[in-house]
Amino acid sequence: MGVIRTIGIVVLSISFVVFVALFGRLPVFRRTPIAFLHRLLWRHIPNAFISVDERLTGRRVTRSLARTGNYLMNEKHPLILIFFVLLQVVGEFLFIPAAWDRLSINQIAVLPLLIIAPLAFLYLCNTTSSNITSDNHRSAMLAYPYDFALFHPGYFCSTCRFAKPARSKHCSICKACIQKQDHHCIWVNNCVGRNNYLWFNLLLVSTAVLLFYGSYLGYILLDQRLQEHLVPRALTRGSFTAKRWSTRMTWGEYAHAWAWAVAMEWRIGAVMMLAMMCIPLALGFLAYHIYLIWAGMTTNESSKWSDWKEDIADKVVFRAEMAQLRETYPPLPEDVEPLDKDVKWPVGVRAKWWLVRTRDGKQPMRKVSRKAGKREGEGDADGEVRDERWERVSSIAQIENLYDLGFWDNLWDGLFNRG
């Protein structure tokens, strides 16, 4: 029992640390213990280690670790992808031969699909690119309209030298601008974007199903082993109801029985435990991306919306109607700001408001000319006055998410609107 408890604690601890390291920066965890642990893991502990290393070795160890860490975190490498594949394949090689003789035809029949599906979708995620190139740049520009909140026309990527399409983001790991960039996923060694978002979500679904099925098979096989060991058939022969092995057991006795079963069937038990511990992580991924689809945004955009929400709370956000601002700021050239009629997005769904932040929280200014009607002694210099077209935004509810068309339309766009 002690060995099983130790294995469970170690696996759960590793899973929790990985979760904090990868997702502690998500907006949903701001001002929570998860965010604090993320800062502790990535900032405070490394800084303390650097201070000690500087005194002992002149930072030689730190520089060596920094080069390794930079490669692991900021370079496109297949190490995590290989680990992900090996975790599944090794688990299946341990589990299936040990369980094969006790599985029914129906249980065996679904195994090929459940085994192949995650690997196939992982391959498609890895090999399908959403990179913006000179050949597809125009198509990317026409995929989504600018919302004048998160994305504005007229910005160019300093690395790729392209006008930035709406909903795009430059990835320093992929070294390219990504169409509708969601996030860079180290598990698939690729950016999740417009072209592979379908495969990524199917990977999440197929992985969750495989984990559930592996846990289910492991449970029924070990439960059967316990039944045969603790309640031999001879004891219930002639009885109308079969006695369950767990009848009248205390929780301690129940746990010890399962520990014995896992120790006797360690290949099935170890894989079952690993699958059960990974289920919350897989479901968390899947639930979060279902939420993003429902909200009509990407992981990248959710972070931007959180920034807007904090700025609104600080009372530094203003909005103005697009129709009024167009009098002063006409559309940019077509190659930088496509015509509304050319954008492949529902007609009429265009930005109504233009959002800005100000540093001092005061209403934006606009220039006015003093040349006309100037008084004696006044110069010809232009002046600035408050621009009454701008009104303060007091709530995030006053800001419309242009890309939220409702769950089903968001689902269709996210999964099937591919470049």
**Which residues are known to be catalytic?**
185
Only one residue has tokens 């190139």, namely 133
Give the number of other Cβ atoms within 10 Å of residue 234's Cβ.
7
Contacts of 284 (CB under 8 A, 6+ apart): 19
Spatial distance between the Cα atoms of 52 and 308, rounded to a whole number of angstroms:
39
CA distances from 121 to 180, 200, 210, 222, 287 (A): 19, 7, 13, 31, 18
Question: Are 94 and 267 spatial neighbours (Cβ–Cβ below 8 Å)?
Answer: yes
Helix 2-23 to helix 266-295 angle, to the nearest 10 degrees? 20
Tell me the C-alpha distance between 256 and 244, whole Å.
16
User: Using CA atoms, how far apart are residues 250 and 262, in angstroms rounded to an integer?
Assistant: 19
SS3 131: strand
Radius of gyration of the chain (CA): 29
Instruction: Kindly state the tokens that stand for 267.
Output: 């290949």
